[in-house]
Amino acid sequence: MLKKYLITAILIVNSAHASQLTDSALRLIQIGTEIGSPDVVLRGNSLLLKGAFDLNDLDALYETSIQARSGNELMGYAPQNSMANELLMRLVILGYDKAMYEYGLYLLDGDGGLLKDELMALNLFERSFQVNGNPNSAFIAAVIRNESLVPGTNDMASVEEMLSFAILSNVKGAANYREQHVRGGRWRSLLPSGWRRWLADQ
């Protein structure tokens, strides 16, 4: 089973780069922002939107959600969490892996305009792991299952399987977490102020 997930993970790594159109659009937005040129930013935004809505480029749609959430001070665009979440949900339905992981983190923290929903977040992370072989999703799903107080979630076989996959995939913090919080008996001991920050600190 782990062999199948590892092969899937390799395929994801090899195809994880954004499309050429999306890369070009983001480069224009970055350059325009750095030199203070609204015209260049607008060209980048237009290219990104064309890819997202005219060409059905899922990479472009994902980056459009990020742009909507962050806004753009130079262009006078305020952050739009609702629009960003709608775009992410569309991508989640299509099985776009980066959106599943990102949406899951917002649900886990109750952040970004979404209500906290640990079980839905867990479902997304496990789907990301099982379908797409995402090792980062495997790690956080294992942590949720090990730390959750919700009845029925503490499935140690699943925790060990997902942690093993994350460790084999060199996910930062996975080996240390298993040693201290699973095999060391310190389960249900984490109380992070935010899971996204906790993951970044590993």
Q: What secondary structure does DSSP assign to 91-112, as a single string?
A: HHHTT-HHHHHHHHHHHHHT-T
184 φ/ψ angles, rounded to the nearest 5 degrees:
-85, -5
Whole-angstrom distance, CA of residue 124 vs CA of residue 120: 6
Domains and CATH numbers, the chain: 2-200 (1.25.40.10)
103 φ/ψ angles, rounded to the nearest 5 degrees:
-65, -40
Whole-angstrom distance, CA of residue 58 vs CA of residue 51: 8
Q: Is residue 126 over pLDDT 70?
A: yes
> Which region among 8-17, 86-95, 104-113 has the lowest average model confidence (pLDDT)?
8-17
Q: What is the pLDDT of residue 18?
A: 61
**pTM of the entire predicted model:** 0.86
Q: What is the pLDDT of residue 189?
A: 75
Q: What is the pLDDT of residue 1?
A: 53
